[in-house]
Chains A and B, each alone.
Chain A
Amino acid sequence: MKALSQKRRHPFAFVALLLLGLLVTGGLYAAATTVNQAQASNVPPGYSTEDVEEGQRLFVANCATCHGMNAEGTDAGPSLVGVGAAAVDFQVGTGRMPMQMQGPQAQQKPPQFNDEQTGQLAAYVASLGAGPAVPDDEYLDIDQGDAARGGELFRINCAMCHNAAGAGGALTEGKYAPSLHGVEARHIYSAMTTGPQNMPVFNDSNIPPEDKRDIITFLKTYESQGTPGGFSLGFMGPVAEGLLIWTLGLALLIGSMVWLTSRSS
């Protein structure tokens, strides 16, 4: 220690101290930045770092106008931090996002991104914060589901908006519950876990994954049954039936009446 104190007035002491200080600061900074980088590349399970990076590029190019550069949300669109991969898979996979126009709710249209791109976007959004993941195939396998039980769950939880036959129905002020005919199993599942548009979230404590599978099984079994009684008239029930009897039925009647009472000339 004596030696050190003796040399503190050495002409190079200042240089040595400066070097030391720079080294420590630089080292700390380097260490700190590495930690930061490690956090940023919090790759969600099932995706790679490239997915996240590519997803971010797609996001900035296609989604950031409304959702913000870092998906933090703007006046035009909500924050996507924590919505999870399932939300992206549903919204982008069914063509609802990117949104065609602002309106009561996003309209379904042909998807703008392919499955790979959708997955990349999902990876990026999932990397921003924890949220519902894309469902496991196990819960989409309708061979393991119970259609009758699913039907019961569907009627109790879903039919008041989506109609007992899954044909869809009206909500307030131009909003609506869409038809569920022909919707992919994973999208039905993701809709339940994320609650898109005006739909409530049915999380796993509300409807466990096995029950969600039962509901999907019911919908798919129902579709596979066809319409035993003939044309379905849109599965809309008595209104469509009334319309048919007042149009086709009445027209056939009047046609035959005019024919019967016409005089041969």
Chain B
Amino acid sequence: MSASKQKYTEEQYLEVGKYQPKTSTGKIANYVDQRVGGTSIVREFGRKVFPDHWSFMFGEVALYSFIIVVLSGAFLTFWFDPSMATTRYSGSYAPLQGLEMSMAYATALELSFDVRGGLFVRQLHHWGALMFVLAMSVHMLRVFFTGAFRKPREINWVVGCALLILGLGAGFTGYSLPDEVLSGNGLRIIDGMLKAIPVVGTYISFFLFGGEFPGNEVIPRLYSLHIFIIPGLILILIAVHLFLVVVHKHTQYPGPGRTERNVVGYPVGPVYAAKAGGFFFVVFGILCLIAGTFQINALWNYGPYDPSPVTAGAQPDWYIGPFEGVLRLMPGFIGDFSLERVIPTPWGGNSLALPVLIPMVPVALLFLGLFVWPWIEAWITGDKKEHHLLDRPRNAPTRTAIGMAAMTFYMIMWGMGSNDLIATHFQLSLNDITYWSRVLIFVGPVIAYILTKRICLALQRKDRETVLHGHEAGVIEVSADGEFHERHTPLSEYEAWTLVSYEAPAPTPARPNAKGKVTLAEKIRARLNRMFFEDRVEPVSREEYLEALEHSHHEPKGLAPAPGGAGEIESGRH
């Protein structure tokens, strides 16, 4: 919580002006402070409280990896020349010596083999990029499954989604820069996708590549995007994102003493700042460790790009994998019916490449759904309240189930992006994997939805059970008349609070609008609302809790061994 805004009196201001520092450091600090106003900044931000939970740190990881990627990228720009001018390679790597290649590839090789530390920094840059998108994705999953996107944070969720898309863009443009066979294959797919757009596709492709693919223009253009436009946009959106975090305060998990009106945790200064600052170096260290030990994008393997060779195992970086996978998954024919159609036009017909266009639809819907989900959920639930306390995923079973269904959909596409490697490494038939995935892409999300929802409801019932009866103590007693009975230890009040403090609203039926008419949209909303809440598990109410306490008082209390120790069985903890 920020420090309360007090009004200072005239004397207090004069007091500050009269302050005379004694040491030379103090004098410098005071000089700067009087001109910059550091005290008020530190007073405002230094007292800002952040809740402590490991899952809240993925956003930080994304920020830190972005900084690392920018720093290492700046180093790379000193040597990399994004030009498609032809040169003859004469660097250290023997198997490529004397080959004709673009300046981009030659300088990328020079960076790898002839610049001191160049290969390490290049690998750090690439691993950092993978980590950047990974951290954003996991952060986003955390925010989704805990409901942190709800009012008032919907706009920040959209900013986050935009950051993810920009991250994908930054990654893809970087992947395409070295101009070797792998990156050229990637660009060829983009070219194909552009050309699949009916009528205007070829023109768009020609504009992007400055003529027929691959042309001489695309690498410098991607370079401008990669080092200037996209990182600039990311930087701006990060500033907006963090500003909104400060405005909204951080969310927190439910727990004793935590309400919608406070934040429980450490203030930024000094502990949290030290932790966060230290964590930057932890992330840096992890990335350096990986970059120093694992080879990434060994571009000398692929050779200079030329449109004729293709390499087996050509894949994009992981975050573009689903886009690749959905193309691999899509059939070109259904039975004998070719999906490649020709639109009759006066000038002789344009081809309509449906096998390339159709797969873009579910991907577009997935990302569109991501952007607008906060409003969809608020519309269905009718929830217009502010939320600063997070949901445990099990306490929002339908949202969790929908999230898992979307993840399953994503992961099937993702897996299909590596179907050739799955085939060789698990000794399966490539064709069978593809056929099965065409079924799974429809069935998998439904199964995931049902399973997740059932698991969430089961966990909620288990929570109710735990609140009402306590934890199983692992001690079985036999009463004098032969009845077996397991002892339960009662919950602490802190734990009980965490387990009962959630909302499970009843379904809200369709209501007529101001004109007294029940609209179709309202009917759909009511139906979806019922899907959300009809099989809800309500938290233990105060009455139920008191009754359960009353009930347990009648039972033999405590954990003292039963008299005479008759028939006591110790069972393992489970």
Contacts and interface: CB of A to CB of B under 8 A. Distances in A.
A141 interface: no
Contact of B311 (A147, A164, A221, A248): A164
Contacts of A156: 308-309
Given A170-B420, A238-B316, A148 B181 contact: no
B54 A242 contact: no
A221 B130 contact: no
Nearest to B130: A245
A248 B316 CA distance: 20
B279 A260 contact: yes
Contacts of A245: 127, 130-131, 134, 290, 318
Contacts of B138: 250
Contact of B318 (A222, A242, A252): A242
A100 interface: no
Interface string B423-439: 11001111110000000
A140 B99 CA distance: 23
Contacts of A172: 429-431
B134 A250 contact: yes
Interface string A233-254: 1011111011111101110111
B301 interface: yes
- Main SS class of interface, B: helix
B54 A229 contact: no
A102 B308 CA distance: 35
B308 to A, nearest CB: 6
Interface residues of B, number: 71
Find the residue from A171, A173, A242 having the highest chain B CB count within 10 A.
A242
Nearest to B287: A249
A159 B119 contact: no
Contacts of A104: 429
B54 A231 contact: no
A79 interface: no
A174 interface: yes
Contacts of B130: 241-242, 245, 249
Contacts of B96: 148, 151
B176 interface: no
Nearest to B309: A155
Contacts of B300: 228
Contacts of B417: 239
Contacts of B313: 163, 167, 169, 236-237, 239
Nearest to A169: B312
A62 B123 CA distance: 52
B531 to A, nearest CB: 32
A161 B430 CA distance: 14
A249 B134 CA distance: 9
B54 A257 contact: yes
A237 B315 contact: yes
Contacts of B295: 227-233
B159 to A, nearest CB: 23
Interface of B: 52-55, 57-58, 61, 93-99, 112-113, 119, 123, 126-127, 130-131, 134-135, 138, 181-182, 275, 278-279, 282-283, 286, 289-290, 292-298, 300-303, 308-318, 321, 417-421, 423-424, 427-432
26 contacts: A147-B94, A147-B95, A159-B312, A165-B298, A168-B312, A170-B419, A170-B421, A174-B423, A174-B427, A176-B424, A222-B95, A225-B94, A228-B112, A228-B298, A236-B313, A236-B421, A237-B297, A238-B316, A239-B315, A242-B317, A244-B294, A249-B134, A257-B57, A257-B279, A261-B52, A263-B52
Interface of A: 104, 147-148, 150-152, 155-156, 159-165, 167-174, 176-177, 218, 221-222, 225, 227-233, 235-239, 241-246, 248-250, 252-254, 256-258, 260-261, 263
Given A228-B112, A241-B318, A257-B279, 10 more contacts: A148-B98, A172-B431, A174-B423, A228-B295, A231-B295, A237-B314, A238-B317, A241-B130, A241-B294, A261-B57
